[in-house]
Chain A
Amino acid sequence: MRSIVPLFKREFLGYFRSPVGYVFLAVFLVASVILAFFVGGFFRGGTASLESLFNFYPWLFLFLIPAAGMRLWSEEKRSGTIELLFTLPVTTLDAVLGKYLAAWAFLSLAVVLSFPMAVTVAYLGDPDWGVLLASYFGSILMAGSYLGVCSLASALTKNQVVSFVIGTLACLLLLFLGLSVFNTLLSALFPTWLVDLLANFSFSTHFEAFTKGIIDPKDVIFFLSLSGFCLFLNVVALER
């Protein structure tokens, strides 16, 4: 387990050794603020909250997290460094966890860097800090699950484009399962209990409560167990 540390450090710092990390952070922050201001009606809403920001996170994550996660394993496979990595005295689990946690920390940094928005809200009004903190917490947890799916997609192929497409599609499915439009469509085909069951596997269903300031253990467990399951499959895919 101690060998996770060097792997984590290399992967995390790797984002900043090339323009990739800076470009990602800039795009993430600019896009989230544009969406909140121009689509979400940040000022028009007239409330001291960041709901208009967080509501777009599931959609923003849909494209940006596969972009951040696609390189995790595909790049190692393409450049052959995977051979180097797996002839170091580390287990597959160490390697998977080290890389995953590094990417998660990077994404968390992206989420946390939106704090000037929170400061703005605090300057303009009197926000509910509990709701804000719960939203940040939920966003980071959700980012972890998106990343788990994308890391798995990345472990399946050495082509980053294929990895991006698989990751996006899988996340899209997990997001759509909770949307009422999609569910109406499904209920025409499947019995209600099945549709309800499927809706329980959706990112949006579980994320919503956080943006209202509710930290429900079952939502936390959902995100953590989804990430855990993906990482388990990730280890299996690499040991194959």
Chain B
Amino acid sequence: MIEVKGLVKTYGAKRAVDGVSFKVNRGDILGFLGPNGAGKSTTMKMITGFLRPTAGTALVDGHDVTQDPVAVKRRIGYLPESAPAYGEMTVQEFLGFIAEARGFRSAAERTAQVDRAISLTHLDPVRRQSIETLSKGYKQRVGFAQALLHNPPVLVLDEPTDGLDPNQKNEVRSLIKSMAAEKAVILSTHILEEVEAICTRVIIISQGRVVVDETPAQLQARQPGARLDVIFRSLTQSDV
């Protein structure tokens, strides 16, 4: 579903992402781990076609993001970090705009998609409220609804549970899990227990390079009995 081939992004002399390659298949939930500044978000931004890679490319459903970015963008639902949205719009207006821009031209189609996304993310109580007045948890869910709206085969979620309370975190996780069967999901996170809870694969990225690409069980097997954060620290120590 997603094939990342030797992605490189340089900012001046700094190599933020330094030759990242991996594959994600349908049904996979890939957990993207790494210290802040390791290049997680930059990699995601290149896969979604927001940033142009310095070298390398990513294929989504067979479409090359450097050749045909619009085709790739059509197939991806993307939740950017801290879920930006047009604050002066109401939830309903905002999702309606996303639906229209995603190609749902008739009003009936649009309403159907918006209603589906709103019910999936439980946004019904605030649908007529402007986004800037919402709490962090609701804003995050609006970002999530926006990413799910067109029922994309690929989901790229940058810290989807950031800023949510434990109940909301749980809810988002079960939502991701329930959809995972027919989708390829990449999510970045700082929470190691999240990886154990929902991910089928883990990639740890450190200083722009992939240092681990295995299942959570294999990661645990590196140091049996140790907590995941201990293993994480020993793998990414070069960053500190």
A3-15 interface bits toward B, Cβ cutoff 8 Å, 1 = contact, 0 = none: 1011101100010
Q: Which residue of B lies closest to A85 (CB)?
A: B101
Residues of A within 8 A of B181 (CB): none
Do A84 and B80 touch (CB < 8 A)? yes
Q: Which residue of A lies closest to B87 (CB)?
A: A79
| Docked complex Cα distance between A202 and B48 (Å) | 42
| Among candidates A6, A18, A84, A90, residue contacting B146 with C-beta atoms closer than 8 Å | A84
Do A91 and B70 touch (CB < 8 A)? yes
Do A87 and B82 touch (CB < 8 A)? no
- Given A89-B70, A89-B102, A91-B70, the answer on whether A84 and B84 have CB atoms closer than 8 Å is yes
B binding-site residues for A, Cβ under 8 Å: 45, 48-50, 52, 70-71, 73-74, 76, 78, 80-82, 84-89, 97-98, 100-103, 130, 146
Do A83 and B101 touch (CB < 8 A)? no
Q: Which residue of A lies closest to B90 (CB)?
A: A17
Do B88 and A87 touch (CB < 8 A)? no
Residues of B within 8 A of A83 (CB): 45, 50, 80, 84
Residues of B within 8 A of A10 (CB): 86, 89, 97
| Docked complex Cα distance between A81 and B50 (Å) | 12
Do A88 and B73 touch (CB < 8 A)? yes
Do B70 and A81 touch (CB < 8 A)? no
Residues of B within 8 A of A17 (CB): 88-89, 130
Residues of A within 8 A of B97 (CB): 6, 9-10
**Extra pairs beyond A10-B86, A89-B102 (4, CB < 8 Å):** A80-B81, A83-B45, A84-B84, A88-B73
Do A14 and B101 touch (CB < 8 A)? no
Q: Which residue of A lies closest to B49 (CB)?
A: A87
Say yes or no for A22: interface residue by CB 8 A criterion. no
**Residues of A within 8 Å of B, CB-based: how many?**
21
Residues of A within 8 A of B48 (CB): 87
A binding-site residues for B, Cβ under 8 Å: 3, 5-7, 9-10, 14, 17-18, 79-81, 83-84, 86-91, 239
| Docked complex Cα distance between A79 and B100 (Å) | 21
Residues of B within 8 A of A18 (CB): 88
Residues of A within 8 A of B87 (CB): 79
Do B101 and A88 touch (CB < 8 A)? yes
Residues of B within 8 A of A80 (CB): 80-82, 84
| Among candidates B70, B74, B86, residue contacting A14 with C-beta atoms closer than 8 Å | B86
Complex A-B, nearest 4 residue pairs according to Cβ-Cβ distance, in ascending order: A80-B84, A6-B100, A89-B74, A17-B88
Residues of B within 8 A of A14 (CB): 86, 88-89
Least CB distance from A11 to B in Å reads: 10
Residues of B within 8 A of A79 (CB): 84, 87
Least CB distance from A80 to B in Å reads: 4
Do B101 and A90 touch (CB < 8 A)? yes
Residues of B within 8 A of A89 (CB): 70-71, 73-74, 101-103
Do B84 and A88 touch (CB < 8 A)? no
| Docked complex Cα distance between A83 and B71 (Å) | 17
Residues of A within 8 A of B52 (CB): 239
Residues of B within 8 A of A90 (CB): 70, 73, 101
Residues of B within 8 A of A84 (CB): 80, 84-85, 146
Residues of A within 8 A of B103 (CB): 3, 89
Least CB distance from B132 to A in Å reads: 10
Q: Which residue of B lies closest to A88 (CB)?
A: B101
- Given A88-B101, A88-B102, the answer on whether A81 and B76 have CB atoms closer than 8 Å is no
- Given A3-B101, A6-B101, A7-B101, the answer on whether A87 and B73 have CB atoms closer than 8 Å is yes
| Docked complex Cα distance between A80 and B41 (Å) | 13
Q: Which residue of A lies closest to B47 (CB)?
A: A87
Least CB distance from B240 to A in Å reads: 28
Least CB distance from B112 to A in Å reads: 17
| Docked complex Cα distance between A6 and B48 (Å) | 21
Least CB distance from A111 to B in Å reads: 24
Least CB distance from A239 to B in Å reads: 8
- Among B50, B82, B98, B101: residue with most chain A CB under 10 A: B101
Residues of B within 8 A of A5 (CB): 100
| Docked complex Cα distance between A12 and B71 (Å) | 27
| Docked complex Cα distance between A228 and B74 (Å) | 28
| Docked complex Cα distance between A47 and B48 (Å) | 61
Residues of A within 8 A of B130 (CB): 17
Least CB distance from B230 to A in Å reads: 34
